[in-house]
Structure 1
Amino acid sequence: MPHTLTAAVRHEAEIRKSRFLALAAPIDAPEAAQAFLEASRDPQATHNCWAWRFGAHYRFHDDGEPGGTAGRPILQAIDSQGYDRVAVLVIRWFGGIKLGTGGLARAYGGTAAECLRVAERVELREECRVLCDCPYADMDRVQARLLAAGARIEQAEFDGRGVRWRLAVARADAAALRALYTDLTRGQGRFEAVTEPGSGSAPAD
């Protein structure tokens, strides 16, 4: 089962007089990866190399380092440790000693890998989305039970009859939550899966 980070993390290393700083963060969408990278890069540094993975989507970038010596090793560090929905930026300040292609790959990949090793992680669960509605009289009781069972409310809409929720639930728990919801609403509530478009793969830079 893949994991993601619980919070942003950093790790710094000095390798043959070059300073390397790895910054890693969890992401909830590919666009979040780009926002993190733009906010975290140092324009005064020699290189800002990065990689991210979000499910089947991924990108990596060498930022002027020889091809395959920076971005790809960072992505391999993410994948080899079983991470998903993670972005990693490794910033380098050149110290005057060239590392060679093998040395660069070890430096970028190793700094990223150590950053991810020291981080706190959490298991990613496969989720699905559900629409359900509930009369006001049952709302507080039903909401408390659903949250206790692991559902997450992403959206709530109110009208004259009650509330309509959009829930994120673990796919493995969906059937049990449907039974719980039917019981709590005495068969009167609606519990309907939302059909979402699938995701495709994205090529690397």
Structure 2
Amino acid sequence: MSFTIANSASFEEEIKKSRFQGIATPVQSEKDVKDFLLQYKNSTTTHQCWAWKIGHDVRFNDDGEPSGTAGRPILATIEGNELTNVLVLVNRWFGGVKLGTGGLVRAYGGCAGQTLLLAEKIELIPTQHAFLCCNFSEWAQLQYELHQYQSEYQEQYTATGVNIYCELKLDQIELLQKFLQNLTRGREHLKIIED
């Protein structure tokens, strides 16, 4: 079971005169990561360290801190919370007191952890995109069924009926397939769209 966060969260703390600010946000792609990091680029910080995980892909950055003392502890916090599709950025404004290797690991990992505690954790439910079609006379019943599944969909009206593109939870695919076949008396089949 995988989890992500529902929305962005932030946390600030001071450790030995250095100010740390953590920001966590849900992300779906590397483009989301790049856009977020560009938006939150802050030249007043001493270090902007981050880590992200999307599925099995992970990246982290120490931004000038000693190797392994910032990005890796942030990533460890993400993975320790069983999260994916998450980016955590920790900004540091140096206060004049060196923290040492262990102190940096605790500061960055701790700030990331506190930030993630403030974010709402939600289960990441795998979905699949699908295509199906029906006659105009069948559309009301099919539309009702899609509402029951709380499925997001887009309909496209054609000369012969309605084409529907939808996103379904994996356990809904077989159920909707059976419903569609019963509704259309075997004429139509649900087609999975490969990403």
Match of 2:2 in 1: 2
| TM-aligned CA distance change 1:136 to 1:29, over 3 Å | farther
- Compare 123-132 and 163-172 and name the one that shifted more: 163-172
**Aligned-partner Cα distance in 1 for 2:50–2:172:** 36
Q: How does 1:136-155 map to 2 (within 5 A)?
A: 136-153=136-153, 155=154
What RMSD over aligned residues (CA atoms) do the two structures have, in Å? 1.6
Query: Structure 2 stretches of 5 or more lacking a match?
Result: none
SS of 1:183's partner is: helix
Judge which range, 183-192 or 111-120, deviates more. Answer: 183-192
Aligned length: 195
- 1:32-181 equivalence runs, <5 A: 32-153=32-153, 155-181=154-180
After TM superposition, give the deviation of residue 31 of structure 1 in Å: 1.3
Between the aligned partners of 1:168 and 1:62, the Cα distance in structure 2 is 38
Q: Distance in 1 between matches of 2:187 and 2:71?
A: 53
> Residues of 2 paired with 1:169 and 1:157: CA distance?
18
Displacement of 1:130 after TM fit? 1.3
- CA distance in 2 between counterparts of 1:30 and 1:143 reads 34
Contact 1:41–1:89 (Cα < 8 Å) also in 2 = no
Q: Secondary structure at the match of 1:82?
A: coil
The two structures have a TM-score, normalised by structure 1, of 0.88
Counterpart Cα distance in 1 of 2:103 and 2:140: 59
Q: CA deviation at 1:39?
A: 0.8
Distance 1:182 1:151, change over 3 A: farther
Q: Shift of the alpha carbon at 1:148?
A: 1.8
Q: Which runs of 5+ in 1 are unaligned?
A: 197-205
Structure 1 counterpart SS, 2:101: helix
Give 1:180 shift. 2.2
CA distance in 2, matches of 1:55, 1:20: 27
SS at match of 2:194: coil
What one-letter code is carried by the residue in structure 1 that aligns with 2:2? Answer: P
TM-score by length of 2: 0.92
